[in-house]
Amino acid sequence: MLTVRTTLSLVALLGLAALVGLTSVGPLGAAVVIAASLLTSTAAYRGRARASLRQMGGRPIQWFEAPDLYELVDALARRAGLPTPRLYLLPGEMVNAVAVATASSSAIGLTRPLLRYMPPDEVAAIIAHELSHIRHGDLPLNMVAAGLAGAAAVMAELGRFGVIFAWLLGAPVGLGELTAALMVAAGVPAVALALRMGISREREYLADAGAAALVGSPRLMARALQRLERLNQPTWWQRLLGYPAPVEPTGWAALISSHPPTRLRIARLLAMRTPRPNLAYFG
């Protein structure tokens, strides 16, 4: 699901990569690097659902181990118009869920603390959020954005080294030109990353709204986010041992964050209208 903001951000990433490529490696070189970056990111994405979760240490959850959970996921998937994803149990003490792959071949990883400490209706909301990512095509969109951002960064580095080597070899490169080239090369990866993370943050807002529609209650999704953040705070004994508490980025740091602040996500959810009654959630 493409929105105007996502489309503009992708166009801006493509334009940035093309502009940097034209000035550093020429039209043909820019086309080759952009195409290679997109092909590489796409190849890395396709068919990587189970492999990615296994690399994270996840193991498949068999139906007989959690029939109620599979029944819940199956009902939500049918409501979203998706095939039922395969479930994986992820290691770690964080309360978290991860979706990978596409609508035709998908999987969702869940951590044990999420299943243990969150009520069933809030687990349904978190799973609905991951299903919304799959339904909206967020995963391939993020891969395309990563490919374009990577191409821009690579070509900025090529341009930087090209100018440095030309200067070292005695080519007519002024100090001002050298300084400008270094500053541009340093700024391009940051701009590309900010554009890419902006896409990611928007997709999170859209997934929240999609989850609220699937479970029939924006307040339920907001409550799940509140509990998720609270459960991921370090306990008193962890604080004594020096475990840092998660801090939401602010200012410039927020521009390179993949997720919006939880408080803003909750505020948007609470401002939403309640979906139609026929989208009743699992209580």
Is residue 51 pLDDT above 70, yes or no? Answer: no
Residue numbers annotated as active site: 130
Please, what is the Cα angle at 174 between 170 and 180, to 5 degrees?
Answer: 125
Q: 220 falls in which pLDDT band (50, 70, 90)?
A: very high
Name which of 133, 137, 139, 150 is nearest 13 in CA terms: 150
Question: Which residue ranges make up each domain of the chain?
Answer: 4-233+249-279
Contact between residue 155 and residue 21 where contact means Cβ atoms under 8 Å apart:
yes
Q: Who contacts 68 (Cβ-Cβ below 8 Å, separation ≥6)?
A: none
Name which of 125, 145, 263, 258 is nearest 204 in CA terms: 258
Which pTM was predicted? 0.85
- Residue 86 phi/psi, 5° resolution? -75, 145
Q: 106 falls in which pLDDT band (50, 70, 90)?
A: confident
As a whole-number percent, the residues of the chain with pLDDT over 90 amount to: 47
